[in-house]
């Protein structure tokens, strides 16, 4: 797939600004989860992982009764 180059500096600046806002929101949410003892959920290569408040990372959901 070919990606076309966009020669619009303002568009890149707006995209960067949106990315900064999103990155800060994720960072704040992860911090809040840790403070409230809530596991964080993320994915890598299509697999779901859970980071427990202890720092342990697992694929077993801490939210289910399994």
> What tens digit of pLDDT does each residue of 29-47 get?
999 998 999 999 999 999 9
2 band by pLDDT with thresholds 50, 70 and 90:
confident
User: Is residue 4's pLDDT more than 60?
Assistant: yes
Contacts of 34 (CB under 8 A, 6+ apart): 40, 53
Position 66 scores a pLDDT of 54
**If residue 43 lies in a helix (H) or strand (E), which one and from where to where?**
strand 40-44
Position 65 scores a pLDDT of 65
Residues 51-62, mean pLDDT to the nearest whole number: 92
Position 15 scores a pLDDT of 92
């Amino acid at each position: 797939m070919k990606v076309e180059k966009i020669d619009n500096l303002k568009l890149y600046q707006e995209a960067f600004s949106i990315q900064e806002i999103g990155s800060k929101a994720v960072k704040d949410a992860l911090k809040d989860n840790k403070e409230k003892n809530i596991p964080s959920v993320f994915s890598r290569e299509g697999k779901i992982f859970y980071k427990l408040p202890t720092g342990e990372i697992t694929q077993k959901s801490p939210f289910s009764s399994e």
